[in-house]
């Protein structure tokens, strides 16, 4: 062989090796296609194209939960017909876990995965498809390569015939209804509304905002709606004072009975009763929901406990700080609505008084702390039963009250110069911007101390991680306010909730320590007679005015067996709360109140 031929052969080998080496180093590419050719069947069809994957197999995973909703929902149970192929060659697929499919494929060779997802649960946490519209919550539809969660991707949406709108916070990628995401986290965190919905727009804090309005028979004043939502958004921006947005999307489902909202990085989905806009209370509730979910774009999506990102989609992500993330957001959302002028300061105090009643009249408030409620959200909050009120407390309700008391303490300590707003600003700057991570429980307490100029360790120990009653009188006193409590009803109380639907009086809950609890009345007991006479009306009304200590005789049907119960009636413990202004507040108290509830 001549030297020239040898050189040519060596060069060819080098080219081959270089091409193979380059292929091995080529970044994997991920492309999704979402179709819905027969929406009335409720099936989305997903096609995922993968290239540049260098192992002999790739594991594809579907999350078991949706961030922002702390319950394992097992989304993979809705997956059908999972197949994979490379070109015309069918590939071997093995399911290795409840939410994991292993695809065996040649190294670095393009392959495609296809599957269907049944979607017929219209909530903000799940996905839905019918003849009217489609809604995608990414965690319940899209899978991701297990070792490439941070891989960018493109998504092409193919709407059902006749559908003309696709609304999402994902950025366009060229081509009709084609979008790009920087990672699976962004794809999963960017819900999609598909159909013929109405699209509205406005600008707030210099950022374009879009509303995708779905629903038939919805009556609202469009100009007023846009003006009022804009006010809420701009007031929310004033809390932290930093704008992390370049776009924002509201997806609003107007349905028979609204179910709430769910926050996302650049969007939110709101589920609203379609008649909410027609009453003063309904409309105020709608604006409160807007404020709550919108404020989450700071509190939770960027200002967050360490457990809430990056996410582990395979299992629970535990934190004791949901009282801050959710309860604190509820606290700020109500302040935002008040600051925006939709509620007067006295109206706000009345609403807060009702919140105190919800917490203090719940027996579980003495059994479970706000921190415990946060940690146990995964097993308790989304799985309530007839005994839940006796064993636990909502981290939303308790967290809002902690926020109010803590805010007043900070304002008082700083003589009206600082507030909980400044704590949020510090957390944003220190952890989201500078350290680019979440904060720990201790770091949150340290942030409060830094702003207030002193630590509140005893407060956190007793009232956040413990179950002692919050120091309402002391905190409200800083603002020239006092808390009044009066009994809901005089005399004895049964201490049970009884449903009289269908003419049958059936016990649905009993209160810890109350008459029914002590006397052995059970949930699901049907009450047939009271004191020897057939019961024909509401039991609680029949007992109204009874003296404390008087005996009650009930004939009940329990599991088909009739039996008699006798027990004394105990005094009712439910209280009605009202925050009132003191007659002659000091200048210092007036300064605290003005800082807390400003009138713009």
Question: CA 271, 254, 340, 475: dihedral to nearest 10 degrees?
Answer: -30
Residue 5 pLDDT exceeds 80: no
For residue 5, being part of any structural domain is answered with: no
- 449 with 323, same domain? yes
184: enclosing H helix or E strand: helix 184-188
Size of the chain in residues: 600
Bridge partner residues of 353 (DSSP):
none
| Domain closes at, from 194, 228, 247 | 194
Residue 2 pLDDT exceeds 80: no
Spell out the long-range contacts of 421-426 with Cβ–Cβ below 8 A and sequence spacing 24 or more: 421/239, 421/240, 422/451, 423/447, 423/448, 423/451, 424/239, 424/240, 424/298, 424/299, 424/303, 424/332, 425/239, 425/240, 425/241, 425/242, 426/450, 426/451
* CATH number of 104's domain: 2.60.40.3650
Question: What does the alpha-carbon distance between residue 302 and residue 182 come to, in Å, rounded to a whole number?
Answer: 17
> Residue 538's pLDDT is what?
85
Read off the pLDDT of residues 131-162 as tens digits, 9 standing for 90 and up: 999 999 999 999 999 999 999 999 999 999 99
For residue 581, being part of any structural domain is answered with: no
Query: Residue 258's closest CA among 73, 71, 123, 69?
Result: 123
Question: What does the alpha-carbon distance between residue 497 and residue 515 come to, in Å, rounded to a whole number?
Answer: 12
CA dist 348 to 337, 369, 565, 580, Å?
9, 25, 45, 12
Read off the pLDDT of residues 522-579 as tens digits, 9 standing for 90 and up: 999 999 999 999 998 888 888 988 999 999 999 999 999 999 999 999 999 999 999 9
* DSSP E strand stretches across 100-236: 100-104, 111-118, 128-129, 134-136, 144-145, 153-158, 165-168, 171-172, 178-181, 192-195, 198-204, 207-214
CA dist 332 to 3, 238, 324, 335, Å?
80, 11, 10, 5
Q: What is the mean pLDDT of the chain?
A: 95
Question: What does the alpha-carbon distance between residue 418 and residue 407 come to, in Å, rounded to a whole number?
Answer: 9
* CATH number of 553's domain: 2.30.42.10
pTM for the predicted model, two decimal places? 0.94
Query: Residue 135's closest CA among 148, 122, 117, 152?
Result: 122
- Longest Cα–Cα distance in the chain: 118
| Domain closes at, from 175, 194, 213 | 194
- 168 with 201, same domain? no
> Residue 17's pLDDT is what?
46
For residue 485, being part of any structural domain is answered with: no
How many CB atoms are located within 10 Å of the residue 459 CB?
A: 20
- 313 with 399, same domain? yes
- 344 with 435, same domain? yes
552: enclosing H helix or E strand: strand 551-558
- 189 with 205, same domain? no
- 326 with 454, same domain? yes
For residue 293, being part of any structural domain is answered with: no
Query: Residue 599's closest CA among 346, 358, 384?
Result: 346
Read off the pLDDT of residues 186-212 as tens digits, 9 standing for 90 and up: 999 999 999 999 999 999 999 999 999
For residue 288, being part of any structural domain is answered with: no
Looking at the structure of the chain, the number of domains it has is: 4
For residue 486, being part of any structural domain is answered with: no
- 136 with 270, same domain? no
Q: In terms of pLDDT, which residue wins out, 73 or 175?
A: 73
| Lowest pLDDT segment from 269-278, 327-336, 498-507, 590-599 | 498-507
> Residue 24's pLDDT is what?
45
- 116 with 255, same domain? no
Residue 474 pLDDT exceeds 50: yes
* CATH number of 362's domain: 1.10.390.10
Q: How confident is the model at residue 470 (pLDDT cuts 50, 70, 90)?
A: very high
- 334 with 246, same domain? no
Which residues fall within 8 angstroms of residue 52, CB to CB, at 6 or more apart?
Answer: 23, 26, 27, 28, 29, 108
Question: What does the alpha-carbon distance between residue 455 and residue 440 come to, in Å, rounded to a whole number?
Answer: 16
Residue 291 pLDDT exceeds 90: yes
- 526 with 384, same domain? no
- 323 with 472, same domain? yes
Segments forming the whole domain that contains residue 436? 298-480+595-600
Residue 21 pLDDT exceeds 50: no
Read off the pLDDT of residues 80-113 as tens digits, 9 standing for 90 and up: 999 999 999 999 999 999 999 999 999 989 999 9
* CATH number of 228's domain: 3.30.2010.30
| Domain closes at, from 161, 194, 227 | 194
Q: Are the C-beta atoms of 226 and 202 separated by less than 8 Å?
A: yes
Percent of the chain surpassing pLDDT 70? 96
For residue 290, being part of any structural domain is answered with: no
Instruction: Give the DSSP letter of residue 451.
Output: H
Spell out the long-range contacts of 524-533 with Cβ–Cβ below 8 A and sequence spacing 24 or more: 524/558, 525/556, 525/557, 525/558, 526/556, 526/557, 526/558, 527/498, 527/554, 527/555, 527/556, 528/555, 528/556, 528/557, 528/562, 529/554, 529/555, 530/554, 530/555
- Phi-psi category of residue 177: left, alpha or beta, with phi > 0 → left and psi -120 to 50 → alpha: left
- 497 with 508, same domain? yes
Tokens 């415990």 locate to 372
CA dist 268 to 274, 303, 489, Å?
18, 17, 41
For residue 576, being part of any structural domain is answered with: no
What mean pLDDT comes out for the span 283-310? 97
Residue 36 pLDDT exceeds 90: yes
Bridge partner residues of 195 (DSSP):
165
Read off the pLDDT of residues 363-390 as tens digits, 9 standing for 90 and up: 999 999 999 999 999 999 999 999 999 9
């Amino acid at each position: 062989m001549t030297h020239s031929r040898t050189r040519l052969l060596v060069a060819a080998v080098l080219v081959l090796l270089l091409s193979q080496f380059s292929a091995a180093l080529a970044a994997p590419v991920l492309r999704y296609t979402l179709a819905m050719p027969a929406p009335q069947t409720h099936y989305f069809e997903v096609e995922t194209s993968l290239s540049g994957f260098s192992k002999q197999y790739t594991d594809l995973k579907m999350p078991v939960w949706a961030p922002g909703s702390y319950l394992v929902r097992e989304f993979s149970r809705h997956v059908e017909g999972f197949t994979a192929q490379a070109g015309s060659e069918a590939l071997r697929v093995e399911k290795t876990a409840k939410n994991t499919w292993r695809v065996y494929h040649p190294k670095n060779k393009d392959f495609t995965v296809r599957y269907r997802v049944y979607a017929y649960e219209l909530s903000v946490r799940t996905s839905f498809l019918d003849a009217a519209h489609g809604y995608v919550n990414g965690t319940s539809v899209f899978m991701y390569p297990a070792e490439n969660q941070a891989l960018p991707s493109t998504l092409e949406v193919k709407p059902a015939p006749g559908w003309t709108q696709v609304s999402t916070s994902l950025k366009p990628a060229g081509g009709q209804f084609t979008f790009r995401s920087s990672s699976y986290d962004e794809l999963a965190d960017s819900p999609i509304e598909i159909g013929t919905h109405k699209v509205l727009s406005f600008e707030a804090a210099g950022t374009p905002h879009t509303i995708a309005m779905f629903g038939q028979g919805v009556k609202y004043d469009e100009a007023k709606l846009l003006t009022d939502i804009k006010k809420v958004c701009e007031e929310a921006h004033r809390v932290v004072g930093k704008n992390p947005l370049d776009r924002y999307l509201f997806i609003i489902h107007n349905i028979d009975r609204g179910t709430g909202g769910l926050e996302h990085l650049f969007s939110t989905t709101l589920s609203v009763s379609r008649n909410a806009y027609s009453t003063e209370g309904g409309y105020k509730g709608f604006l409160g929901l807007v404020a709550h979910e919108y404020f989450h774009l700071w509190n939770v999506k960027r200002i967050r406990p360490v457990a809430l990102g990056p996410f582990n989609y395979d299992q629970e992500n535990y934190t004791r700080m949901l009282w801050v993330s959710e309860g604190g957001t509820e606290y700020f959302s109500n302040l935002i609505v008040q600051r925006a002028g939709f509620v007067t300061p006295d109206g706000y105090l009345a609403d807060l008084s009702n919140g105190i009643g919800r917490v203090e009249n719940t027996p579980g408030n003495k059994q479970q702390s706000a921190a415990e409620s946060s940690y146990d959200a995964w097993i308790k909050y989304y799985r309530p039963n007839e005994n839940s009120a006796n064993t636990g407390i909502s981290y939303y309700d308790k967290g809002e009250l902690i926020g109010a008391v803590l805010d007043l303490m900070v304002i008082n300590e700083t003589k009206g110069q600082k507030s909980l707003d400044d704590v949020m600003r510090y957390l944003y700057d220190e952890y989201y911007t500078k350290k680019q991570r979440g904060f720990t429980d201790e770091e949150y307490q340290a942030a409060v101390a830094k702003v207030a100029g002193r630590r509140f360790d005893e407060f956190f120990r007793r009232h956040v991680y413990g179950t002692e009653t919050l120091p309402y009188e002391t905190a409200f006193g800083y603002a020239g306010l006092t808390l009044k409590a009066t009994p809901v009803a005089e005399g004895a109380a049964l201490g049970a909730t009884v449903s009289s639907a269908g003419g049958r009086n059936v016990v649905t809950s009993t209160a810890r320590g109350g008459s029914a609890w002590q006397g052995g009345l059970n949930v699901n007991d049907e009450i047939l007679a009271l004191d020897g006479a057939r019961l024909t009306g509401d039991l609680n009304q029949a007992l109204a005015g009874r003296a404390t200590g008087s005996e009650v005789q009930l004939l009940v049907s329990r599991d088909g067996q009739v039996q008699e119960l006798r027990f004394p009636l105990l005094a009712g413990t439910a209280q009605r709360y009202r925050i009132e202004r003191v007659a002659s507040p000091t200048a210092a108290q007036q300064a605290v109140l003005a800082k807390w509830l400003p009138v713009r």
